[in-house]
Structure formats: C-alpha cells, structure tokens
Amino acid sequence: MIESEEGVPNVLNLSEIAEREREEDERVVEIVREFGAENLIYCMQCGSCAAVCPLARVGFEWYNKKLIKALLLGMKEELLDDPTPWACVACNRCTEVCPRQVSPFEVMFAVRRMMVEEFAIPTLAIEGLRALYEYGHAVYMTGREARKKVGLPEKPPSTDSDEQALKDLKTILKNTKLAKLGLIPMND
C-alpha cells in the first residue's frame, strides 16, 4: 500500500478513530472547543472559508474546511505532524465569509494549542517561541551588524532594547502554559 504523505492513512477507519477517543476518554471536538474554537460544531462544510484561504490556494493539505471535518470525525493523531495550522497567516478572511460564524481562524489556532500540548510543534515554531522569549519578537530581525554599519542602534527601538519591558514580558511568559510545558529554556 502506498502510504500517504501526511501521516493520514489512505483509508480512514472511522471506528478506530472513535474507539481511540473512547479509550483516551477525550473528545477532540471538545478539546478544540476548549481552546477557543467553540463554534466549530456549527460548521456545515460549505467550503466558503476554503475558497478564500491562502493556505488552500498554495496547496496546504489540511486547510480550514478540511481540518474542521477531520476534527468533527475525531481525528487528532493523524494531524499532529501536519504543518498547515502553523502556516495560517491569521488574515481572518475565513472568519468574514463563514455563514455559520464558525471563525475557522480560531479553529486553526485552537489546533495549534492542541498540538503544543502534544509537543507536536515544528522546529520553526520553537525558534519563534525562543526568539519571543529572548528578544520580544517571534520573528526576529537578524543583522545587528548591518544596523551598526549604517549607523543604527544595534537593537531596534522595541522591547528588545527596553530592558524593563523585556523583563516584564519574560515574567508574563513564565506564567503561561509555555513554562509548564518546558518547550524552551526560560532560565533568566
């Protein structure tokens, strides 16, 4: 049998998925609802959100509509390695067009939270978290040398250069679930 690329088998055995939910005594739908996607159950799979989603356009496999269906069927493990939720650019076009007010964007982010709990995070995302903790920027601008050369201060005039602000941010982050999960070093 040809294994499909995304870790999702070619033939989905829905009963096995349901059985797993029963064994682990957790309902995937309820998990993501807890994580902020409470309107997920109103989705009728109309496809409007996928029509406007940039992820669907560039070929990500589990864009909003499809991801919602997968969750409604109780899929979780199959999706853990999938990069799609992390690619969501939070443009919220989907939120605007959804006739059932599902806020598919919230689903994307709820799935990220679910993935984090399972330590199923792409390296890139870990990098981002680390940078956030270190410098106050998830996407950190490199090139301190270049800034110096053109006569700019080495650090940009943001949290990065504001010692008190950075300290406050770190305190906040240490009080989030992030610290409990221990995904990144939070030593200082």
Chain residues binding ligand SF4 by CB under 6 A are 43-49, 52-55, 64-65, 68, 88-94, 98-100, 102, 104-105, 108
CA dist 140 and 160 (Å) reads 10
| Residue 51 touches another protein, criterion: CB under 8 A | no
Question: Taking Cα atoms as reference points, which of 51, 33, 54, 34 lies closest to residue 102?
Answer: 33
Nearest approach in angstroms of CB 10 to another protein is: 7
| Residue 80 touches another protein, criterion: CB under 8 A | no
CA dist 50 and 35 (Å) reads 21
Quick one: what does residue 18 bind among ligand SF4, another protein, none, with the CB cut-off 5 to 8 Å set by partner type?
A: another protein
Nearest approach in angstroms of CB 161 to ligand SF4 is: 31
Q: How many CB atoms lie within 10 A of CB 11?
A: 7
Quick one: what does residue 105 bind among ligand SF4, another protein, none, with the CB cut-off 5 to 8 Å set by partner type?
A: ligand SF4
CA distances in angstroms from 137 to 29, 42, 71, 134, 158, listed in the order given? 32, 35, 31, 8, 9
* For another protein, the closer CB: 12 or 138: 12
